[in-house]
Amino acid sequence: MTVEVNLGDGGKAVEAVRNELVADGAPAALAAGDPGLWGPKARSEAEIRLGWLNLPLTSRELLPEITKLVEKAQAEGLDHVVLAGMGGSSLAPEVICATQDVPLTVLDTTDPHQVRRALAAPIERTLVVVSSKSGGTIETDSHRRIYEKAFRDAGLDPAEHMVIVTDPGSPLEQAAIEAGYQVVLADPNVGGRYSALSAFGLVPSALAGADVRSLLDEAAAVQPLLEGAEGNPGLDLGVLLGAHALHGRDKLVLRDAASDIIGLPDWIEQLIAESTGKEGKGILPVVGADAAEADDQYVVSIGPDGAAAVDGPLGAQFLVWEYATAVAGRVLGINPFDQPNVAESKENTTAILEESGDGPLPAGTPILTDGPVEVYGEVPGDPKNLADVLTWLLRAISERGYLAIMAYLDREAAFDAAPVGESSFEEMTETWAGADVATLRALLDYRTDHAVTFGWGPRFLHSTGQYHKGGPAAGVFLQITGAVTDDVEVPGRPYTLGRLQLAQALGDLRALASRGRPAVRLHLTDRVAGVRHLLSVAEEL
Ligand SMILES: O=P(O)(O)OC[C@H]1O[C@H](O)[C@H](O)[C@@H](O)[C@@H]1O
């Protein structure tokens, strides 16, 4: 494992931060699990959150149990694995499975259309892993209820098709035991976003067909390096992240640079945004962007190439980024193990659902309609059309600010426009990009020097959502929702997935608006036509 770090202009500042950490004995103290490294306020939380340091060793104890589960699933012909889990309970398995090229369907959405896609797979061959550390996450609870019904409707016993991963003592453990489900208990001394090498990362990945022992071996190989002051990749990276942020370079552009690992930036995004984005401070990860000229941005690459690059196998990457994030937390003077502002949007969502009863949700009235796109929110200057609204949003970004696009839509919808195997790879990619709302990020990025991020809702609420509300008050927010034509009931609950999804969008908007941040919601009355229109307007700006 190597970490190549070119200190560039920030050289002296970075060196000063490193010297102070080394003088304080921080690298060895962190490796030894000292909970006092983040100050007295963070101590009690840190005392129960440092188990990730030992996972390369302790997770080996899970391997026999995992092997049995895998053998059982194989014997029963369960080869379609669905993972229901949000944030730290699904981001690592997604990277592990993509990197090892084994199929895993990740459900970290309340979009009914996307959930319908998963439900369309052969149910008799489906194994659902329900992963939730707290056991109380509304999206995951909804997926469990939906699949339980789907299995029963197909004459199948849910207990034969479900595996639960949760913390000991969670409400989910209780419910799962009562229902007779297979349960794997995770290490409770590991927080969600640090849980890649715990049962949360390993169980669903192994069931999908990944080799998880090798991940532990890779992490174990880098572990001894994390104790020292020299040749310590976690320290080098953490110093870089922390020192840059201290000096105003707080946008971390993450790039995949010819590595064999697929999708690691999305996992890093949650780790860093949720760990550091609080108390008005933080580091904003920017995924999918090119190197920017702006002086609040810098690039770290995954792979062998780049001025600052983290190169090494996936298991080692997980551990090094976690260590680096903990170091950056110390440098910034924050607690890297809590997420104090995530609950706010969740509470708003619950309140909105309760206040609305059986009636419509408080979506408001559009200030204008441009073809298949309705615009909601306060936009000064009497905007006439969508182009005016987008132009205003871009202008509203302050110096050192950023624009966050948050799309509460089906992240696989663009597949419908570009079916695999029907045209050349280049044609397929072009068609895909023209139908994928995520393309908006690049189109708007092209028109501003400021950082532009993109997140799928509600997935990002468990990731960058913490930074949006707890980090520097510098965000401008563009929310996108869409009409639901094929909703999904949530058994035993008074809402459908579509209703929950819209309530989540409105709940987060309420939290952002209460901070006085510029925030607009675009609603696509026809999803396909709406995305096409939005992209063509952005292209013409
Ligand atoms: O695993 P769960 O308890 O369901 O939590 C899933 C996610 O929920 C919350 O939003 C936290 O902020 C995340 O850090 C966590 O990964």
Nearest CA among 81, 90, 173, 85 for reference residue 127:
81
Name the residue with the closest Cα to ligand 1, atom 9: 462
Do the beta carbons of residue 33 and residue 175 sit within 8 Å?
no
CA 14/CA 28 separation, integer angstroms: 19
Q: What is the pLDDT of residues 17-34, one digit of tens each?
A: 999 999 999 999 999 999
Would the CB of 372 count as within 6 Å of ligand 1? no
Pocket test residue of 45, 108, 129, 134 for ligand 1, highest count of atoms within 8 A of CB: 134
> How many Cβ atoms sit within 10 Å of the Cβ of residue 248?
10
Choice from 52, 86, 274, 347 to test ligand 1 binding pocket (greatest atom count within 8 A of CB)? 86
User: What is the average pLDDT value for the chain, to the nearest integer?
Assistant: 95
pLDDT at 440 exceeding the cut of 80: yes
Task: Find the 271 Cα to ligand 1 centroid distance in Å.
Answer: 11
Nearest to 216 by CA among 304, 132, 309, 318: 318
Matching residue, tokens 């959405």: 109
- Domain residue ranges of the chain, discontinuous segments joined by +: 342-540
* Residue that has been written with the tokens 């871009």 in this structure: 394
426 contacts: CB under 8 Å, gap ≥ 6: none
CA of 142 to the centre of ligand 1 (A): 15
Quick one: pLDDT band at residue 9, thresholds 50, 70, 90? low
Rounded to the nearest angstrom, the distance between the alpha carbon of 476 and the centre of ligand 1 is 24
- From the list 85, 117, 100, 207, the residue with the least C-alpha distance to 415 is 117
pLDDT of residue 1: 61
Q: Is 462's C-beta closer than 6 angstroms to any atom of ligand 1?
A: yes
Domain range 342-540, CATH class: alpha beta
Separation of first and last alpha carbons in the chain: 44
**Which of 166, 189, 192 lies closest to 177 in space, CA to CA?**
166
Instruction: Provide, rounded to the nearest whole percent, the portion of the chain with pLDDT above 90.
Output: 91
**Alpha-carbon 480 to chain mean position:** 18
- Whether residue 459 has its Cβ less than 6 Å from ligand 1: no
3-state SS of 119-171 is: HCCCHHHEEEEEEECCCCCHHHHHHHHHHHHHHHHCCCCHHHCEEEEECCCCH
pLDDT of 282 higher than 70: yes
Per-residue model confidence (pLDDT) at position 517: 95
Q: Are 192 and 270 in contact (CB under 8 A)?
A: no
Q: Is 219 in the pocket of ligand 1 (CB under 6 A)?
A: no
Answer yes or no: is the C-beta of 192 below 6 A from any ligand 1 atom: yes
pLDDT digits (tens, 9 = 90+) for 79-117: 999 999 999 999 999 999 999 999 999 999 999 999 999
Q: Which residues of 440-449 are buried (b: 16+ CB within 10 A; e: fewer)?
A: bbbbbbeebe
pLDDT value of position 2: 65
Helix boundaries (H) for 280-340 = 314-332
> Per residue in 39-82, pLDDT tens?
999 999 999 999 999 999 999 999 999 999 999 999 999 999 99
CA distance 425 to 55: 40
- Return the percent helix, strand and coil in the chain, to nearest 5: 50, 15, 35
Averaged pLDDT, 442-447: 96
